[in-house]
A and B are shown apart, each in its own frame.
Chain A
Amino acid sequence: MVTYPVKGISPDMSFLEMLDVLNEDLLLRGDEPIAFDHDCREGICGMCSLYINGRAHGPERGTTTCQLHMRHFKDGDTITIEPWRAAAFPVHRDLVVDRSAMDRIQQAGGYISVNTGGVPDANTIPIPKTIADKAFDAATCIQCGACVAACKNASAMLFLSAKVSQLAMLPQGKVEAKTRVENMLAQHDAEGFGACSNIGACAAECPVGISLDNIAMLNREYISAKATSENVA
């Protein structure tokens, strides 16, 4: 652990802009800057992470680190920043971790098997607005990994359940619902993510408000798949 002083911080700065200031300062002194992941800085790409003062994405609820502003800290505060910590997220350097395990879970079944072309007109599949809205809410997961970082078991269940429920709710996704849930769960465990013990720290720390209801739905989907399936080898 290293402690750096930073000066000239405005309350309107974002947390990452504060780190930019620190990095410019380090560079000018001939030191290497601190590596951290970031890209859109609008809270949507899911690239930024950081465990700030013991909280994933810092103290503000429903906020990614890039949308956290310095007005939520006091002048003179010491802020502790750590990378995401989970066996399935090896650290590359400084605050940058490897989250490719989440992509591999998606590859295990987070899709509807349709090829480009030859699909029916969009309006031939009416979907009740309430269902469409719920599916949308689940689909807004940004795959940042905060749920894993916040969980004492380092489980990725909230992330996984969001995809499973989005697709299970929609008529287009129902066809493959059973194999999907089994395959994605198998990959989750193979990647070394922990089991879910229903504490809910994940949902509390989720920057985009993915609901715990998704985990309940995942469990129902899984039980129904198990009960009927010869799906998974």
Chain B
Amino acid sequence: MSSESPIQAIRLRHPWRNVFAVVLIAGAALFILDAAGRPAYDWPAVAKYVFDRRITQAAVNTLQLTVYSMIIAIVLGVILAIMRLSPNPVVKSVAWFYLWVFRGTPVYVQLVFWGLLSIIYQSIDIGIPFMEPFYSFQTNAALNTFTLAIIGLALNEAAYMAEIVRAGLLSVDRGQEEAATALGMGWIQTMRRVIVPQAMRIIIPPTGNEVISMLKTTSLVTAVPYSFDLYTRSRDISAETFNPIPMLIVASLWYLLFTSILMVGQHFLEKRFARGVGDRRPDKKGSAPTGTGAVPLVTGTQPTVVAPTQTENPPSSPGREGTR
């Protein structure tokens, strides 16, 4: 018959792979069965506390700590990154010094420091030096432990975000800025329309990791001391019940839930900023563009693994997409 009939070959077997898989599955099953019946885990207690009013409130607090401190950290990180790329040596060194201090000391220690802020500075004056301040407040009254925890987490995180943002900005080809400048675009326009959208592809994956890591770092705010976050709260409850293990499970379940949601969000953000460099179809609506009826449909997207700059020899036919 036709020489193009599908190949029907005997599949190559991988017996050891299969054995390994069976061992893994068996091990996991045994662990789960054992855990289900083990009294120390105290599953009834887990069920009882997982939606306890105090725990859900603590979960909300942890989420707030994460979101607020990340927002501040990202804004500050962008400013620090731009400062580090500034031609002005003073501006540059200030940013460098900030990074040196906040990356060079443990976040736990920093949080303790923030907790002692009201002892170091009893009142804070805003105004011009050597003149009557416009505004003055008692540190104690103005900044509660929740606010101090956010400040502490945010300022620490900003140092890491600055490096991530800087790497992202530097990953964009120099020619992009030149092309935009040559078109008469100003610095802000160039950043906003050309550089930042491209840098996002590099910035988002590590930022996603930072958010997830921040979610867990919030368990250190007890250093301030703020005690209404998920971990500290569940530990406090177990101090009353003398039954710590189920409370650890309860906290872990909530952390896992939030982490999973964040991972889904990160996935969609990455897809959004892969525009034009991933191997998606060139049009938005999914219909083949005019003139190229024979372009093969592309499967799968790999938004984060493509090279940041264009290749020397771009594909010479529009039908070759999907290979980068």
| Chain B associates with chain A | no
**Residues of B participating in the A interface, judged by any CB pair closer than 8 Å:** none
